[in-house]
Every structure is written in structure tokens, then in C-alpha cells.
Amino acid sequence: MTKIKYLCKSKDTTLAIKADDMTDLLLAVLADYGTACVSLSYYAKKCGYEYPETVDIGGWLKMPILVLKPTLGDIVVFGNGKPTNVGIFISKTDGLVYTLEVNNGIELKAFPLEFVLGYRKLHKINTDELNN
């Protein structure tokens, strides 16, 4: 039997995330769910992942690992022609992409698929890379 680790709720939706599917980045963000936070870059740095060193949301599209079929915990960038939102991919269903937004607090949001500008997988930085 699969244990449910978290239930993320928005005004319209509740999504269950299985404990076995959690990434350390997602766990760190969910630990602060519903509270104010700094940014997705803060959590990426805290968990030892590379992150864009710019406040521009478009910097997330410059992360080197392009993803065509996103999985739980990948990064998704949204916008209407230019990047306006970034979040952590939770799921995709019925033409909507569900993410955890980490901008003005942490919350579950749904965006129409046509607003997805790209998905990225973050690279874990090992200690040797940090020392060079």
C-alpha cells in the first residue's frame, strides 16, 4: 500500500503526492507549504541544486537539462510569450499543468498547457563542483 505523504490543496483541487515519489527539493518546499518563502532559487540552493543566478524568471529556461516529459519535482516555466511564472511540476491532466508556486508564498496552482514555455530538471551539485 502506497503512503500519501502530502495533500496539496488549492481553491479548486486537491492533489495527493505519494511518499515514494518525493524529491528532496519538493520535500523542502512542502515543509514550508502555506507560509511565506523567499524563492524557488532559495530552495534549490538549500538542497544543493544548481539554479539561475538571476532574478529573471527566464533564467530557469537556461538551465541545461531540458525535459520533454516532466515528472514530479521538475521545474516548469509558464508565460504568454515571455516567462512570468515558475513552479515545481506536480502533475498534468485535462489540459492543465499543476505546480507548486514558490513566489508569494507556497501554493498549488493550475495553468493551461498552452502557457508552458518549458520544463527543466535540476542538476544536483556535488561538493567537488562547489570547491572548484
Is residue 1 very low, low, confident or very high in pLDDT (cuts 50, 70, 90)?
A: very low
In Å, the largest CA–CA distance within the chain is 47
Number of structural domains in the chain? 1
Cα distance between residue 40 and residue 111, in whole Å: 18
* Domain membership of residue 91 as a residue range: 4-124
Helical spans, DSSP H, in 65-115: none
The pLDDT tens digits for 86-112 are 889 999 999 999 988 876 667 788 899
130 belongs to a structural domain: no
10 belongs to a structural domain: yes
The pLDDT tens digits for 59-96 are 889 888 999 999 998 999 988 988 888 889 999 999 99
Q: What is the pLDDT of residue 2?
A: 40
Other C-beta atoms closer than 10 Å to the C-beta of 127 total 7
